[in-house]
Chains A and B, each alone.
Chain A
Amino acid sequence: MALTGLQIYKLLPASSTKPEVKAHANCKECGYPTCLAFAMKLAAKQAELSLCPYVEEESKRQLEESAAPPIRLITIAGSAKKLEVGNELVLYRHEKTFYHPPGLFVRVKDTQPDAAQVAEAVAAYSVDYVGMSLTLDGVAVEAAGGDFASTVAAVKAACPFPLILMTSDPATAEAGLKAAQGTMPLLWAADAQNWQAMAKLAAQYKVPLVVLANGDLNALADLAEQVKNAGVEDIVLDPGTRGYADSLAIFTQLRRLALKKNERKVGYPLIAFAGDDATLAAQHIAKYAGFIVLDRFDPAMVYPLIVLRANLFTDPQKPIQVLPGVYEINKPGPSDPLMITTNFSITYFSVANEVESSGLPGWLLVADAEGMSVLTAWAAGKFDAERIAKTVKTTGIEQKINHKRLIIPGHVAVLLGEIEEELPGWEINVGPREAVDLPNYLKTRWG
């Protein structure tokens, strides 16, 4: 179980009863100003215990135990790309964050003549979302009575992403593993019948192995335990559910067992099969899958899923920001007022809502102030004349309006002169300090 900062502090040199250890209290050698500051960083998992050479052995043992990840980190790799999943710490993203986005895979069958083309399309797929280039993560090759080994080889050649090899026949699996050599695929799956042979293969080829049960928690846990005892450390769980309700229930239970009950037997990532149902895949993104296999490659379905995954796996501890840029309120025309504010979401919303509900049209420029409110950003030097001028010049607002007047928040009236210097030819107006006074200001002062 995770310890709090203060609990960890009690195990560090500052709290030691041994004088020779206590001598290193707050020594700063770890790079933090005090033992308590270091303890809080450890608790937040933002520092490594090894930075402190003076921790007593017994304390070290306790700390390492508490720091062991409740869900094992699993890595698979293709010829040029790897994927890590697991190591999650929370049930709800607001509690900290979701760390490793689930891998999105497209399934092909070895009977499918265009398997390599699909794999190529998967590899080529890339979409730009707020400046990030997002991709799929790999291809699942399913043995369906065709030539598994050569399909695996063809897919591997066509797609440098990790593979999932899907077969319950150990001989087929071994052929596939041989064909996939040079990469680290995920092997699906060991079940009640074949687990010994599959575990042997996984150990021999050093690949992670999926353990499959049919919707039964205990059967799944026991099988995973047996596979582990057979020498396979890297395990992925497939509870066998394929629908909405059954998956939601058992995926939630498995996540809770690992995180809240510290149940090591099921402390592994989960794999889900969503068929061609985008809505089901979306459920798996939100509710705890580590790998999601789709039956079809369709950009119109993949794009929203990739974006959803990017959204839910952002860090919620960061201040809520809106994208800097030009926002149009009430369909403004070229002669309508231009206002500027910062990209802290609450600041943006208060300004935008006031103007919007007044019915007055206007252009709202949002400057990148690193998510701070106007006053905070001003105090921290993140909303100064230079940034304001840059926002005006780089957002293309000058092409949308036919005037050169800018309303700045009353709180930064002090910046007036400097902005005038940075933006020659512009008339800078000092607006009200509070958003609530904006409608009245626009009615009486703009014209």
Chain B
Amino acid sequence: MPGIEVPKEKWSGKVREVTLGATAAEGGTRSRTVTVGGETTLPFLKFEGEIPHPPAIALEVRDQQPNDWPSILLEAWNGATQDVAEWAKAAEAAGADLVALRFNASEQLNAAYARKILRRVLSATGLPLIVFGAGQADLDNEILVAVAEEGKGERLVLGVCEEKNYRTIVAAALAHGHLVDARTPMDVNLSKQLTILIHDMGMPLERIITDPTTGALGYGIEYGYSVMERLRIAALQGDTMTQQPMLVTPGEEAWRTKEARAAEGVPAAWGDYVERAINWEVLTASTLIQSGADIVVLRHPKSLQRVRAMINALMS
């Protein structure tokens, strides 16, 4: 009886390799760089293709301690959340590949302030940085232009660029050698369209990261999951406008849910609060990595450990 052959897909496309951060030799000040992408098959299917780089994990830090994070999340950082530089150091110590600096929307937030914060984070950690604005178009345009100038040469990822507001950020990133995070609301077509629009401005595809957004576990993760899976399949089938590495923010999404925030007044069936909350972040992240995420932004150091363990096991 003839044996069964291992069924392998013959993919024609490849995910673009994108490098975040720049060392002194490359014009920046990072102690190392992180490269993601380069896959020639679906996540971790090493029997039929290359997975040259493991997915990278970023930990989120804020310019000021946020007032809307649950206490178990703040406590996990042992006071480092009081100061952005300490926080960035702690993130590096916790094993992050990248630091995702995000600005809170506050009165003091302006270009000069953003420059100052960026300088402090750059000197506190040697990891490559992702810098997110406060989520308000006008303000973000102001501070991200300043961040782009201040961080010239560092190959930062600047975000977020959305269809309604991308030109200023892309222009700043273009001028100062940075990358951009192109965010669209869970839709394959919108994601592709934004990549095209940003590329049409002259941004090389090697400097665009796709951010298809996601819902948390229980809050629409299936949409994020399928959108990422579809984008990755399209990329492997040779659609050049979908071949960007993908970034998602499961930490932000998971810690917004009631499951991760409510210690009391919830059904007993939800189980132990801390364990459940961390599981919520971990399962949101791990499931998205299974569908193609190349960068996940997390919040809890323990979640990082578990997700890292999974990635290591899958890469072995």
Contacts and interface: CB of A to CB of B under 8 A. Distances in A.
Contact of A217 (B4, B46, B223): B4
Given A127-B267, A300-B270, A304-B280, A279 B310 contact: yes
B275 A358 contact: no
A245 B222 contact: no
Interface in A73-129: 92-94, 125-129
Contacts of A305: 283
Interface in B39-72: 44-47
Contacts of B33: none
Give the size range of B's interface with the partner: 35 or more
A22 interface: no
Tell me if A's interface is mostly helix, strand, loop or mixed.
helix
A149 interface: no
B282 interface: yes
Interface in A236-293: 243-245, 248-249, 252-253, 256-257, 260-261, 263, 265-266, 278-280, 282-283, 286-287
A130 to B, nearest CB: 8
Nearest to B187: A346
A314 B313 CA distance: 29
B185 interface: yes
Contacts of A346: 185, 187
A244 B136 contact: no
B187 to A, nearest CB: 7
A303 interface: yes
A324 to B, nearest CB: 14
A218 interface: yes
Interface string A201-227: 000000000000000011001100000
A171 interface: no
Interface stretch (A60-68, A349-357, A377-385): A349-357
A256 B316 CA distance: 23
Interface string B195-228: 0000000000000000000000110111101100
A286 B284 CA distance: 12
A311 interface: yes
A152 B14 CA distance: 52
A301 B271 contact: yes
A256 B217 contact: no
B57 to A, nearest CB: 14
B4 A221 contact: yes
Given A249-B47, A311-B225, 9 more contacts: A94-B229, A249-B44, A263-B4, A282-B290, A286-B290, A298-B272, A300-B271, A303-B276, A305-B283
Closest 10 A/B residue pairs (Cβ): A300-B271, A299-B271, A300-B275, A127-B269, A244-B313, A300-B276, A256-B7, A94-B226, A311-B222, A300-B272
